[in-house]
Structure 1
Amino acid sequence: MLLTFPNRAPFLTYIWFTASVVRFAQEKTLCEVSITERHLHRSEMKAKSRISDLHLKFAERSWNDTFQLVRRCMEKSRDESKPCEPLVRSLERLQEEFNVSSMNTMRSRLEMIAKQQGMGFHVTEATCYLTADLFYLEVVLLPCGGVEEVKVAPQGGSPTSSESLLQLLRLKNFADFSMKLAGLFTQYNIPGDNEIKLKLFTSLQSLGRDFQQISNLLRASRVPKDFDPQMDTINHGRIGCLIAGKEDCPLTIQFYIAPTDVKQTDSQIMGMKADVHAAQVAVGVSDVTHNLQMASVIPQPPQLDPQGYPVFLPLNEVLNETLPACFLLKLRPAVPMIMSFVNKLSQITDVTIPDVDLQWAPLPKLLSRGPPSPNSHGETLDEQDTIFTVPLPGGVMHSYILPGAAWEAPTQIATVMDSVPFTHPAHVPAILDLLRHQCVINTLLRSCVTSQCASPGSVCDLHFEILPESDTSFSVTFHPPDTDSLTVLLVNISDSHQITCRLFGAGTCDPSVDEYISSVMKRCMSVPVTLRTLYRKLEEIASAPLSPSHLATTEAEDDQSAPSSTTVTDTNSALTELPQGAAVPEDSFSVSGSACYAMSVANSELPPEINTSPPVNPYPFTPVGVFSH
């Protein structure tokens, strides 16, 4: 039965029209699909026919013939500067499948690698030449596709055998060979036109020869201070440990390795492991012109000044050129440096480091960056303060808090330096001293912020707060054993060789404790290890019975220091004696269930050797015409 609607005829007309449109669309779609299927079927049949024809045509052809065909197609590319990308990928894919067992296949592989690196390629009989502006590679092939010899020749120099490149080709490790060649190309990739390139290359070679002479002179005159001669040269040498630059690797200076790190071989050092700091000597473009040496700046015979630094000639006394470039120490790895140290670098070298290229952040933040370890853990309090938990042998767990507001002070703002510009070899000893100084500070702080850490929720045995006191010192506040008072360990790094520790508020005035802790920190270069040793030492002192004379001396010292002390009542209503000027917040904060008080050492409490006023520059320099250290 039909439902009755008002105006029924228009409604039925609408229904009929809609159904007709839908049916028409369906029929049209089916028709199009049918046509498309027939078209695809015909195309597929044609493609199968063509593939069958090609298969029959090239069934008996070798892969080498196919490879040569692709090469000919590439040579016929309309734009020679931009070959057809699909053909390039096809050629590379074919080469990966080749078994290099003939001279022709090895030639083809070397040619492809040269083109990938933007180098030229030439062949004369059994020798291949991979050429660049300032060097070329000479590869002598064997009929079986093997390699007899690999030589590297700089511009104007004689070819020198390269054992590392030879072994990579003999092992047919073309991926590593290509990476090595890329590094070599970067080493000789000096900016500028051909004339500028040749001048900068000549200047860089003169600098390298001067470093060699200095290294030989210092090695013959120096008395080792360390049991490990290599580590001693790295950490204490005027120009560190020099790895002679060869044609296939740049001149490299190793200048810092933490005493706890294992000894590295030269091959490992060239890989730039993270625990060894080194600098590659290079030349880079500059917006400002500088006078650079074109000959040696070392007087003959070479000599040292009374302080043991090499003596140099001023640039105006040797052949020099004004060029839009400067020398570079490319740091491997990059070094986070505080602002005052960056300014000192500019003062030493008289080369301005553009601030626009630098990104500033608190030093601990830069030190804690990098790939986190699987067990690392850091909590953030108030979006600024960060707590790091550090496990130690024996199941002991430390927690370290670094207040964000304190480390954001201008003296603690730092940037990551990956290269240091200079214009004279006389700058290098002072630059290395400054870099070592920063590396020592970084090593100590990094031991607290990037160590292997426990999982969240772990209970820590001891809690410490680390605060900056100056650009080269920091304090560590903690609870000594069996007492509710606070103790402060002040760590001062006056230079890369001097680390002193002073203990405040520990109930002992024995200077031997300070000396002992200082020696421990210099030996292990770890704040957690040093504090564990200090805590055990304080436990021994607290448990040792006092003699009557020592007790009387302690009481007399307490009476004398009473007027100059601040009395603080802790949460347990115990009286705590703190040094005058020590700042204690009104409320303590809880860290993993234990109390840890924020406290800093006032300027009046700093020992005489720590001066908070602008210090005398420990890195003397002569900006223009540098002659000595």
Structure 2
Amino acid sequence: MESERNRGHLIMKSKTLTPALKSKYADKSWNETIQLVRRCMDKKRSDSRVCEPIAKCLQKINEALNVSSLTAMVSRLEMIAKQKGLVSHLSPTETVCYLTADLFYIEVVLMPGGKVEDVRVAHHGESPVSSPSFLQLLRMKKFQEFSMKLEDLVCSYNIPGESDVKIKIYTTLRHLENDLLKISHLPRSLRESDLHVDLILNGRIGNVQPGQEGMPMKIEYYIIPLNVLMGLSSTGEVAGGQVAIVTVGSSDTSHRLQMESLISSPPQVDCHGFPLFQPLSESGSALLPATFLLKLQAPLPMLASFIEKMRKITDVVVPEQKLQMEPLPQLLMKTSTLQNAKITWTEDVQFVVPLPASEYHSYVFSAAEWDHESWKGTLIHTIPFTHPGHVPILLDTLRHQSAINVLLASCFSNHKHHIGAGLPYDLKCEVLPELDHCLSVTFSLEDSDNLAVVFVMVVDSRQVSCRLLMPDFVDHKLDDYVSRILVRCMSIPITMRAIRRKVASMKVHPSTDPSCAHAMESTLTTPVHPDISGSNIMPALYPSASHEADGKNGLPSSAGYYVMSVGSAQAANNANTDAVAYPSPCASLGVYSHWVSGGVPAELL
């Protein structure tokens, strides 16, 4: 009530003051009025209290004024700094404006007339470095974009604690970044002809992009295969992948974090090719109320089993684990471009996926079937960890989940129809969940009342295979063919189209081989659940990066490349030795090999 009364008083006061101000300055020129406004804006107030309406008015005036003088540029920089929680001040010579925070500061070198000569960013304990991006924004007077970029820089230093604690946390983050760069520089076999794609899918920690101009380190850890195929065939460029930002965050409990490099120079490696880490000692580490973070951009829908796996790796709880779990397809629908399609998950959902040559597939997801605990998950934004050795296996887990997500999302489209609408489809399929990261696609055979099933087994992002079960037919070579198609594109509709065409071109006869007949009889009289244990998985024959083709199937033979170092950043020095690494299988998968550079394979068109 009191606030309403005060607000009414201010409104009445402004109504009486406005006519008086208008009459007082009616005879003044516009230039005199502008100078008066500038003097008022530059005047320092002794009262620390800020009137919000007046502050907003001053901000609008500042934004409307043309920055054509040194004073105007300084005023604009001071306003932006205040909005972002920074402190600003001029140098004694009034040629440099400083925007300062606890762990960094920005120097804006000014010239007469408000022009900007240079912009330098200095991090704690380091010399200032010129920032071309900041400089370009200020020279073009794009102050809103400059403010947004400054906010990103401030967020990257959003470190909890007092100044001395912030400095320690910043120091441990820099040592982590140096160790991750060392891991990325380790020698390894190059499986793909495109280095960028090979780093993302097969690099020990993906494609590492060191932080520049104050921005944090980025790791590109997965890329959609079909985007790569289409990009290579049309423009020669590779589409962007999924990215994790390496940063730090606050923690309710203290964790021991490194205060020095944990990898020797040159690094010592284990039998898996991963470096040996020195154990965290009291002298080389510190207990801090923080953890390292992999901040995912964009957030990733993740199964509860993968979240628990990451918790066991890091011994740190993933915050999103406490959120309500939902079926994975439902999560994917929420985070995909289908948000505007108003799709609900209360009943069976059908998608119509258009393919080239005017081919249409129908894919049905049964809400009741997918309402299983093993296929429920939540949206993950950040992953906390405390050791550089956690990163490779965490990224493998993210890749595994990404592979599953890409397969399911390939069945989505904005073409949603009611089930039983009677629309003509070239292929009708139902996608069902199975155990242990396996899913099945049931479909009807052309010109037949019989059903067939394709089991898709995603052991990890590098081991994806298929098993095709059809009445009166067993052919493991066809399984291998289907697996190769799926691995190349990671798209269920494209794979189903290849199966449809392959089956239509074959004359299917009951096998006369007794072993095949026995296998088929067993298939038809027992529940259809394939053995997806590691020993019984049928591996796909993956093409590699060589220029020479195999005479049998036209696929390239094994690769002959070897990469000694990737990335342009220099590795950190002063490292230590002896430790246990976190082994993670590093077998590479030749998905995007040299054979696609001449065009997309015929079966994918």
TM range (shorter): 0.7 to 0.9
Of the candidates 99, 106, 127, which is equivalent to residue 137 of structure 1? Answer: 106
* 1: CA distance, partners of 2:131 / 2:208: 19
Which amino acid in structure 1 is aligned with residue 525 of structure 2?
Q
Identify the structure with bigger relative contact order (alpha carbons < 8 Å, sequence gap 6+).
2
Query: 1:13 maps to which residue?
Result: none
**3-state SS in 2 of match to 1:246:** coil
Which amino acid in structure 1 is aligned with residue 385 of structure 2?
F
Of the candidates 289, 292, 304, which is equivalent to residue 339 of structure 1? Answer: 304
* 1: CA distance, partners of 2:532 / 2:137: 61
Of the candidates 25, 31, 53, which is equivalent to residue 86 of structure 1? Answer: 53
* 1: CA distance, partners of 2:230 / 2:65: 38
* 2: CA distance, partners of 1:262 / 1:561: 38
* 1: CA distance, partners of 2:458 / 2:357: 29
TM-score norm. by structure 1 comes to 0.77
Query: 2:430 maps to which residue?
Result: 465
Cα distance change, pair 47–114 in 1 and its aligned pair in 2 (3 A): closer
Deviations 1:546-572 (A, max 9, x none): 6xxxx6616x5676457646xxxxxxx
Cα distance change, pair 605–325 in 1 and its aligned pair in 2 (3 A): closer
Unaligned 5+ segments in structure 1 are: 1-42, 266-272, 566-578, 583-600, 612-624
Unaligned 5+ segments in structure 2 are: 1-13, 232-237, 539-578, 584-605
* 2: CA distance, partners of 1:481 / 1:60: 81
Cα distance change, pair 429–47 in 1 and its aligned pair in 2 (3 A): closer
Of the candidates 351, 363, 386, which is equivalent to residue 400 of structure 1? Answer: 363
How far is 1:205 from its partner?
1.0
Of the candidates 242, 248, 251, which is equivalent to residue 217 of structure 2? Answer: 251
* 1: CA distance, partners of 2:496 / 2:211: 42
How far is 1:602 from its partner?
3.1
Provide the aligned C-alpha RMSD in A: 2.9
* 1: CA distance, partners of 2:317 / 2:21: 67
* 1: CA distance, partners of 2:221 / 2:246: 13
How far is 1:610 from its partner?
5.6
How far is 1:263 from its partner?
9.5
* 1: CA distance, partners of 2:180 / 2:533: 41
Query: 1:447 maps to which residue?
Result: 410
Please tell me whether the aligned partners of residues 367 and 442 of structure 1 are also in contact (alpha carbons under 8 angstroms).
Answer: yes
* 2: CA distance, partners of 1:354 / 1:389: 36
Cα distance change, pair 559–264 in 1 and its aligned pair in 2 (3 A): closer
* 1: CA distance, partners of 2:18 / 2:353: 66
How far is 1:324 from its partner?
1.5
Query: 1:155 maps to which residue?
Result: 124
How far is 1:98 from its partner?
1.8
How far is 1:384 from its partner?
2.7
* 2: CA distance, partners of 1:157 / 1:114: 21
Please tell me whether the aligned partners of residues 377 and 454 of structure 1 are also in contact (alpha carbons under 8 angstroms).
Answer: no
Query: 1:483 maps to which residue?
Result: 448
Q: Which has the larger radius of gyration?
A: 1
Of the candidates 165, 169, 182, which is equivalent to residue 196 of structure 1? Answer: 165
Query: 1:122 maps to which residue?
Result: 89
* 2: CA distance, partners of 1:84 / 1:47: 17
Deviations 1:185-220 (A, max 9, x none): 01112011112111101111111111222222x2xx
Of the candidates 370, 387, 395, which is equivalent to residue 335 of structure 2? Answer: 370
Cα distance change, pair 352–274 in 1 and its aligned pair in 2 (3 A): farther
Which amino acid in structure 2 is aligned with residue 111 of structure 1?
E
Please tell me whether the aligned partners of residues 531 and 537 of structure 2 are also in contact (alpha carbons under 8 angstroms).
Answer: no
How far is 1:313 from its partner?
1.2
Which amino acid in structure 1 is aligned with residue 349 of structure 2?
T
Query: 2:581 maps to which residue?
Result: 627
Deviations 1:275-334 (A, max 9, x none): 621111111111121110000100232122221112211112860011121111111111
How far is 1:379 from its partner?
7.6
Query: 1:581 maps to which residue?
Result: 526
* 1: CA distance, partners of 2:63 / 2:248: 36
How far is 1:96 from its partner?
2.0
Matched, 1:236 2:202: yes
Number of equivalent positions: 519
Please tell me whether the aligned partners of residues 320 and 378 of structure 2 are also in contact (alpha carbons under 8 angstroms).
Answer: no
Query: 1:415 maps to which residue?
Result: 378
How far is 1:49 from its partner?
5.7
Which amino acid in structure 2 is aligned with residue 398 of structure 1?
H
Which amino acid in structure 1 is aligned with residue 198 of structure 2?
D
How far is 1:508 from its partner?
2.7
Which amino acid in structure 1 is aligned with residue 512 of structure 2?
T
Query: 2:512 maps to which residue?
Result: 553
Q: Which moved more, 1:337-346 or 1:88-97?
A: 88-97
Please tell me whether the aligned partners of residues 276 and 580 of structure 2 are also in contact (alpha carbons under 8 angstroms).
Answer: no
TM-score norm. by structure 2 comes to 0.80
Deviations 1:471-521 (A, max 9, x none): 411010011122211100000011110110001125432211111110111
Query: 1:10 maps to which residue?
Result: none
* 2: CA distance, partners of 1:487 / 1:403: 18
Please tell me whether the aligned partners of residues 280 and 331 of structure 1 are also in contact (alpha carbons under 8 angstroms).
Answer: yes
Please tell me whether the aligned partners of residues 283 and 325 of structure 1 are also in contact (alpha carbons under 8 angstroms).
Answer: yes
Cα distance change, pair 377–84 in 1 and its aligned pair in 2 (3 A): closer
Query: 2:567 maps to which residue?
Result: none
Please tell me whether the aligned partners of residues 320 and 380 of structure 2 are also in contact (alpha carbons under 8 angstroms).
Answer: no
How far is 1:247 from its partner?
3.9
Please tell me whether the aligned partners of residues 203 and 293 of structure 1 are also in contact (alpha carbons under 8 angstroms).
Answer: yes
Cα distance change, pair 318–526 in 1 and its aligned pair in 2 (3 A): farther
* 1: CA distance, partners of 2:249 / 2:532: 47
Cα distance change, pair 354–174 in 1 and its aligned pair in 2 (3 A): closer
How far is 1:139 from its partner?
0.6
Query: 1:5 maps to which residue?
Result: none
**3-state SS in 2 of match to 1:515:** helix
How far is 1:580 from its partner?
2.8
Please tell me whether the aligned partners of residues 473 and 511 of structure 2 are also in contact (alpha carbons under 8 angstroms).
Answer: no
How far is 1:44 from its partner?
8.9
**3-state SS in 2 of match to 1:101:** coil
Please tell me whether the aligned partners of residues 377 and 455 of structure 1 are also in contact (alpha carbons under 8 angstroms).
Answer: no
Quick one: percent identity of the two aligned structures? Answer: 42
**3-state SS in 2 of match to 1:140:** strand
**3-state SS in 1 of match to 2:62:** helix
Matched, 1:69 2:40: yes
* 2: CA distance, partners of 1:204 / 1:607: 38
Deviations 1:128-183 (A, max 9, x none): 10001110011101212221111111111111111111111111111111000001
